[in-house]
Amino acid sequence: MRAFRVTGAGRPAALTECPVPDPGAGEIRVRIEACGLNFADLLMEQGKYQDMPEPPFTLGMEVAGVVDALGPGTQGPAPGTRVAVFGGQGGLAEYGCFPADRAVPLPDGMSAADAAAFQIAYGTSHVALDHRARMQPGETLLVLGAAGGVGLTAVEVGKLMGATVIACARGADKLEIARQAGADHLLDAKTEDIRARVRDLGGADVVYDPVGGEQWQAAFRACKPEARLLPIGFASGEVPRIPANHLLVKNLSVLGVYWGGYMKFRPEVVTGSLRTLLGWYQEGRLKPHVSHILPLENTREGLELLRSRQSTGKVVITP
């Protein structure tokens, strides 16, 4: 089979031929129909991700496809079942083996592209806003990077939770996508002063930040007392420093969010969140935005779209 693999530390990933894997105990093998790309794939390729596998490994954190084999002693899902799986790696291939207990059966009518774009982006936003920030109806949510893979889902989820959403993105085209997702106020990071504009709108109760850098600093200074700030990632390349004295004076809270980490110590947080999200999807209340669907041989192009921030919503690869 074909797979997009990192073969050694410091080496760029490349499309290679390798054997179809056999599932081990507790695993299923999935014939992969779609794999969602994430900024973490770029970090993993560079050896900079916080949860690094040892090379060689196949990139691709979340997939959708059809179960085609069970490992020894594995009870299900049965072969033929359409599933989505967060595997953390192994998704940019024609087949992959994953823990059976991470497989989520797909609702009828959910496409493979939607399913591959769904788990990490929507899961991160829902766990961040609901479980971590305990956001309440009527609060003001500032979303940075609001047209990106996770930012756009935060706009959607925030609106469903009853927040007033300020969407911050670069350029009119990206802001229009955030508006269509439900944003109440639009803020152009290229031309507007984030701190001044958010303060003019009354300040933020919750800040959702996958960007970091200067945007974090501006949002930090636009918070209301007792605001909660959620560092999701650092697409700017700059991890911000957080002045503890400012936290003290304004009674602010900074709440780290690593969605994949819950798989290891509180998986019920993730599974409960996904049940809620899939229910909203079936009710037509969530609409995944996939800006690019590319074949496996164009994976490098897809990663470059993420790196250069040219994509909106998700980029999906179809083996």
- Give the pLDDT confidence of 122-149 residue by residue, as tens digits: 999 999 999 999 999 999 999 999 999 9
pLDDT digit string (tens) for 259-280? 989 988 998 999 899 989 999 9
Q: Provide the pLDDT for residue 10.
A: 78
| pLDDT of 9 strictly over 90 | no
Domains 2-118+288-318 and 121-260 share a fold: yes
Q: pLDDT tier at 92 (50, 70, 90 boundaries)?
A: very high
* Rounded Cα distance, 83 and 174, in Å: 31
Please give the torsion angle defined by the CA atoms of residues 248, 253, 258 and 259, in that order, rounded to the nearest 10 degrees. 170
* Average per-residue pLDDT for the chain: 95
CATH T-level fold of 2-118+288-318: Quinone Oxidoreductase; Chain A, domain 1 (3.90.180)
> Residue 54 contacts by C-beta under 8 Å, 6 or more apart in sequence?
none
Q: Token pair of 162, please?
A: 């009853």
Q: Provide the pLDDT for residue 51.
A: 84
121-260 CATH, one of 3.90.180.10, 3.30.70.890, 3.40.1280.10, 3.40.50.2300: 3.90.180.10
Of 45-49, 173-177, 220-224, minimum mean pLDDT range:
45-49
User: What are the sequence ranges of the domains in the chain?
Assistant: 2-118+288-318, 121-260
Please give the torsion angle defined by the CA atoms of residues 75, 76, 78 and 84, in that order, rounded to the nearest 10 degrees. -170
Other Cβ atoms within 10 Å of 137 Cβ, number: 8
Mean pLDDT of the 289-300 span: 97
Nearest to 104 by CA among 65, 130, 69, 131: 65
pLDDT digit string (tens) for 178-219? 999 999 999 999 999 999 999 999 999 999 999 999 999 999
* Rounded Cα distance, 203 and 193, in Å: 13
| pLDDT of 50 strictly over 90 | no
Nearest to 197 by CA among 164, 167, 241: 167
Q: Token pair of 220, please?
A: 């930090």
Segment (H or E) for 276: helix 267-282
Percent of the chain predicted with pLDDT > 90: 90
